[in-house]
Amino acid sequence: MLSEPSTTEIPLRFRGAERSAMSYSYFSRVSNINAFLLFVCLSLCVPLTSSASSSDTLQSKYDVFVSFRGADVREGFLSHLIEALSLNQIDFFVDYNIPKGYQISDALLRAIEVSSIYLIIFSENYASSSWCLLELVKMVECSEKYGHMLLPVFYKVDPSDVRHQRGSYGEAFVAHETEYNLTTVQTWRFYL
């Protein structure tokens, strides 16, 4: 059962497909997720328009693939989201069991390919994870190829900081430039 929302509100902004009438919302700290869940459910019911050819389509296994930076959202927002998705019988993929620092697996990349909607929870430290950025690239590529829906959620971050790679996002890319080749970092910047 979902907890009652607290009185403290945190701005949570998200952008969906062009058909979405909902472009900005506030969810409570304890996550009154019903409005968001309704949006996801409606998105699943509306056929996605795509320029992908019929030979480029995949059979979806998951309705939603959730991409997140664990330390930022695991104990709060994510746990409430997962509870709501489960209660409403929405098939989703969340990877809990990958230890920090491990390589992104083929199974995870396949889970991205066979998901209909990509829920990307941009949080303060999302861009500091090379794994999250690799997921992001794969999700955008699949969205373009198969017509899957990208649904970014801005959790405790300003969307313009993400878009323009300022603040923690800018700092993360400076750090990545010392660890990864320039082409990889430029690809991540482009897809973000």
Report the pLDDT value the prediction gives residue 174, as an integer from 0 to 100.
95
Helix (H, G, I), strand (E, B), or coil: what is residue 78? Answer: helix
Amino acid identity, position 43: S
pLDDT digits (tens, 9 = 90+) for 155-169: 899 999 999 999 999
Domain 9-160 has CATH 3.40.50.150: no
Q: How many CB atoms lie within 10 A of CB 160?
A: 11
Domain spans of the chain?
Answer: 9-160
Report the pLDDT value the prediction gives residue 98, as an integer from 0 to 100.
60
18 catalytic? Reply is no
Amino acid identity, position 3: S
The CA distance from 42 to 48, in Å, is 11
Q: Are 30 and 83 in contact (CB under 8 A)?
A: no
Report the pLDDT value the prediction gives residue 52, as an integer from 0 to 100.
47
This prediction's pTM: 0.72
- Selected catalytic residue, list 9, 135, 177, 179: 135
